[in-house]
Amino acid sequence: MNDRPHTVSVSTSDRLSAVLSGAVRRVSVILWRKPGLSAGLLLAPPLGWFLLIYIAALAALFISAFWTTDSFTGEIDRTWTLSNFQAIFGSETYRLIALRTIFMAAAVTITDVILAFPFAYFMVRLASQRQRVALFTLVLVPLWSSYLARVYAWRLIFAHEGVLNWVLHGLGFQSIEIGYTNWAMWIVFSYIWLPFMIMPIYAALERIPYSLFEASLDLGAKAWRTFFKVILPLAMPGVVAGSIFSFSLTLGDYITPVLVGGPGSDFIGNVVYANVGIANNVPFAAAYASIPLVVMGLYLMAARRSGAFDVM
């Protein structure tokens, strides 16, 4: 083996690494002197991703909301117009569907708070360690099964010859026709999003020191007063955090209305789906889809004020 090329290659790589390490040192010095720059470099990839995927998509959505579609050929007509928004706000049907969606989201949220609060309180304060583990499992196990499977299960429960009526008959009651109604939707939504309410409330309650309860009682407050003046205000951020989940998840859902809803059960999501899928009217769908966006924006602003994001 010839020695010379070997030596040459070593010296080149040495020189190269010296140059490189010098460059690295210089860069690190600059970054150390200007912390803003290093933070910027670290944030650039995720921020770029966020802007490209999220903001650009939203921008495209908003822009196309002001276009129209040629109803026959399905080609998009890019003349700026407010006609989509006029159609939405001028039509009783579309106003009703938007209100129905928002009202259902609110009803489900309130129901879940009422169900989740005592449950979470029991888990934090009264349950033994073993009971707590068991309850945690009970809350989380449904999340392991598919959302669709659980909705279909409810459909079978509510059916005319379903489990519910079978039980009612067995107990000697009249059968009830609850399947394919808004009541059925309310029950299914409340069931499906309940774990998302229990978890944040549990986290919030767990952070309240027990000494505060004792102090309240020592100072002569009765149980209800301790609840309203001490526990509830301190647990409020957890309640709001949970409500963001249940509210936004209900607001954006369109599968449950298709599966368990009856006539007059369409949500905003169903109208969007129908306009994209059936009518091929993407601009109108985009205009209608901006309603939940605005509602959710307002909701999040209100939630931020209450400090809910501290416990999330």
Partner 1 sequence: MMNLTRTLAAGISLGTAIAFSASAFAAPAAPNYPQTIGKGEGALNIVAWEGYAEDSWIKPFEKETGCVVNRKYAGSSDEMVTLMRQGGGGEYDLVSASGDASLRLIYGGTVQPIDVKLIPDFENFVPDLKAPPHNTVKGLHYGLSYEWGPNVLLYNTDKIAAAPTSWSAIYDEQYKGKVTVPDNPIQIADAALYLAVKDPSLGIKDPYELTEKQLDAVVALLKQQRSLVKKYWALASDEIELFKNGDVVIGAAWPYQTITLKAAGAKVADTIPTEGATGWADSWMLSAKTKHPNCAYKFMAYVSTPAVQAQQALYFGETPANMKACEEMDKAEAGSCAKYHLDEATTYIKKIKFWKTPQKTCSDGSQTCTDYSVWQRKWQEVKG
Q: How far apart are CA 251 and CA 143, in angstroms?
A: 19
The reply on whether position 64 binds partner 1 by CB under 8 A is yes
Taking CB under 8 A as the binding criterion, the range among 4-12, 51-59, 101-109, 212-220 that sits at the site for partner 1 is 51-59
Least distance CB 179 / partner 1 (angstroms) = 6
For 70, the token pair is: 């040629």
Nearer to partner 1, 25 or 78 (CB): 78
User: Of 33, 79, 277, 305, which lies in the binding site for partner 1, with binding defined by CB under 8 A?
Assistant: 277
Taking CB under 8 A as the binding criterion, the range among 1-9, 69-77, 117-125, 192-200 that sits at the site for partner 1 is 69-77
The reply on whether position 293 binds partner 1 by CB under 8 A is no
Q: How far apart are CA 109 and CA 115, in angstroms?
A: 10
Least distance CB 144 / partner 1 (angstroms) = 25
**77 strand-pairing partners:** 68
Nearest-CA neighbor of 121 among 12, 201, 32? 201
Residues 72-111 that bind partner 1 (CB under 8 A): 72-76, 78, 87, 91, 93-94, 96-97
The reply on whether position 192 binds partner 1 by CB under 8 A is no
The reply on whether position 280 binds partner 1 by CB under 8 A is yes
Query: Apex CA 53: angle with CA 73 and CA 254, to 5°?
Result: 60
Contacts of 248 (CB under 8 A, 6+ apart): 105, 296, 299
Q: How many CB atoms lie within 10 A of CB 237?
A: 22
Nearer to partner 1, 243 or 275 (CB): 275
Nearer to partner 1, 102 or 199 (CB): 102
User: Of 8, 39, 51, 133, which lies in the binding site for partner 1, with binding defined by CB under 8 A?
Assistant: 51
The reply on whether position 63 binds partner 1 by CB under 8 A is yes
The reply on whether position 253 binds partner 1 by CB under 8 A is no
Residues 115-154 that bind partner 1 (CB under 8 A): none
Taking CB under 8 A as the binding criterion, the range among 117-125, 185-193, 206-214, 266-274 that sits at the site for partner 1 is 266-274
The reply on whether position 279 binds partner 1 by CB under 8 A is yes
Spell out, one character per residue from 193 to 232, where the chain touches partner 1: x when CB under 8 A holds, - when not: ----------------------------------------
Nearer to partner 1, 142 or 262 (CB): 262
Contacts of 125 (CB under 8 A, 6+ apart): 205
154 and 258 Cβ atoms separated by less than 8 Å = no
151 and 188 Cβ atoms separated by less than 8 Å = yes
- How many Cα atoms sit within 13 Å of 93 on the Cβ side? 7
User: Of 16, 19, 29, 56, which lies in the binding site for partner 1, with binding defined by CB under 8 A?
Assistant: 56
Residues found near partner 1 in the complex (CB under 8 A): 51-52, 55-57, 59-60, 63-64, 69-76, 78, 87, 91, 93-94, 96-97, 155-156, 159-162, 177, 179-180, 258, 262-266, 271, 274-275, 277-281
